[in-house]
Structure 1
Amino acid sequence: MATKKKAEKEAEKAIAAARTAVEEAQRLVKKLDKKARKEADELAAALAQAEKDAKKVLRRTEKTQRHAAQAARERAAAAATPSSTGIPTFRDLRDRAKARGIQGYSRMNKAQLLHALGEG
């Protein structure tokens, strides 16, 4: 019987040690869960910042494209206007003659248009 009691005591000690080990493991898992949650929160914050930065870059790119398009339109408009010498272009003279209702403007050359408009 003594050996049976001794075996029971050793079994109880082993069970107690196993319970302690399980409790320690559970505590460590909770700790890991907290650490994992903290890391997940940090990653979520980093992702939100990256998304914010990407939107900012997109807005800047769109703004740059709008400015480039506006500059291209301004260059095209500058090319279509009379030269800086003050002499109007043939197309400009035809448009002005048409607006004034001058007959035969479509068959006139630049000199004739200038004369008809009273500028030559």
Structure 2
Amino acid sequence: MAQKNSDKKSNKKSETTNKKTSKTSDHKVNAPTQSTPKATVEAKAQKALALAAESVQAAKKAVSDSSKKLRKRATALTEQTEKLAAKHAKAQTQLKKAEKKADAEAASVKPRQKSSARSAGSGVDTSLLTPPLPSPQPAAPTLIELRQRAKSQGVTGYSRLNKAALIAALESSTKK
């Protein structure tokens, strides 16, 4: 049995060496022994050059077409930009007008805001909590006001009269 195993191993080795030699020998048989004729190589080169020239022409045409499209797109974008710039300028002028109007309104409202600003110090807006006060009744005119009225009406000796006498003199001068 030992001999059979060794025979099998030797047979396998010889088969693998036979396969290797047959592959190399097949390759040598298939290899061309003569070079291709010079005319066929030149013809193939001419065809390749013609194909390359056609490819270059096609690429040039594609570039010119795309540049035309790009120019059209650029002009459209330029027009759109001009329109947007005009809209922006118009909006700016309207904004300036609105700011001026708001400033004018704010200037007329400022005195009211001062009174509410005093109450804002406490953190509570008292204008919402308290009802509006009734308008105060006119108080009795001061001595200075009475003397000014007497002077304008031409009452004689108004500077030496007291408040009650000035009131009486003004009432009598208006009745005449």
TM-score range, shorter chain: 0.5 to 0.7
> Structure 1 stretches of 5 or more lacking a match?
73-78
**Partner SS, residue 119 of structure 1:** helix
CA-based RMSD: 3.3
TM-score if structure 2 supplies the norm length? 0.45
After superposition, give the CA deviation of every residue in 1:79-110 in whole Å (9 maximum; x if it has no partner). 9xxx5xxx9732531322465573246xx4x4
Pick the aligned partner of 2:166 from 107, 113, 117: 113
Structure having the higher Rg: 2
User: Deviation of residue 15 (structure 1)?
Assistant: 0.7
Aligned match of 1:89? 141
1:21 aligned partner = 62
Cα 1:94–1:31 shift into 2, 3 Å = same
Runs of 4+ in 1 over 3 A off after TM superposition: 58-66, 97-101
Matched, 1:31 2:83: no
Looking at structure 2, the residues matched to 112 and 15 of structure 1 have their Cα atoms a distance apart, in angstroms, of: 118
Instruction: State the TM-score, normalizing by the size of structure 1.
Output: 0.61
How many matched pairs? 102
Q: Sequence identity of aligned pairs in percent?
A: 26
Does 2:93 align with 1:40? no
Which protein has greater RCO, CA pairs closer than 8 Å, 6+ apart? Answer: 1
> Higher mean Cα deviation, 16-25 or 46-55?
46-55
**Which amino acid is the alignment partner of residue 103 of structure 1?**
S
